[in-house]
Amino acid sequence: MLENFGITNLWTYLIGVIFITLVPGPNSLFVLTSSAKYGIKNGYKAALGVFSGDAILIFLSFLGVASLVKTSPIFFSVIKYVGATYLFYLGVKTLYSVFHKKEQAADVDAIVLATKGTYQKAVFLSLLNPKMIIFYVSFFIQFIEPTYPNAGIPFFILGSILEICSMIYLSLLIFGAVAVTNMVKHNQKLSKLSNSCIGAVFLMFGAKLALAA
């Protein structure tokens, strides 16, 4: 199946993609947070940003940028620490909003301001993980026939499959987050607890990225 396009072991690849997609990470957490706070539309803005960022990483892997990241410790460290700093920023910002939230309904202007740049933030967050570039090229290459004359075709097909699975999973997160939010939105204590947990997880991801070898 798809051997004519330079792809081998497709079913093994699909199983791997499912496991990769289901592993929690800052991207899915950002989509979850965006949906829970500001609804389905904003959740899909974040999902589209993740989708775009992953597409860029896949393309960079195809171009061989992964080799540069892997063989240049300085370049790797710069991207890694910028990414960790951004995750810390998201965590601190989330926690700050929990403990300094005004006891009044947010007006339309405040919501518009808060959701501005959601897509750009998601792209930025997706790109600031140098290990994903290395992972993508290491993962895809196992399922591409080395003798196939045009590696771009199997790369595109495999990348498209991953992106489709990712969008399905993120869609489930978006609707799930909105449903849960609607159930607990009148419970201020539970709402603060969930937002505090989200902020703490962002900080955890930031620390994990900064301390990773």
| Residues of the chain by 3-state class (helix, strand, coil), percent to 5 | 85, 0, 15
Taking a C-beta distance cutoff of 8 angstroms, is the pair 47, 171 a contact?
A: yes
Taking a C-beta distance cutoff of 8 angstroms, is the pair 158, 62 a contact?
A: no
Mean pLDDT of each 10-residue bin along the chain, 213 residues long: 80 86 81 85 92 86 67 69 71 68 48 68 82 71 80 85 91 88 64 64 67 61
The structure's pTM equals 0.74
Token readout for 188 is 């201020």
Beta-carbon-side half-sphere exposure of residue 62 (alpha carbons within 13 Å): 17
Q: What pLDDT score does 60 carry? A: 79
Q: What pLDDT score does 45 carry? A: 92
What are the φ/ψ torsions at residue 144 (nearest 5 degrees)?
Answer: -115, 130
- Using only C-alpha atoms, what is the Rg of the chain? 19
Number of C-beta neighbours around residue 81 at 10 A: 14
Q: What pLDDT score does 186 carry? A: 57
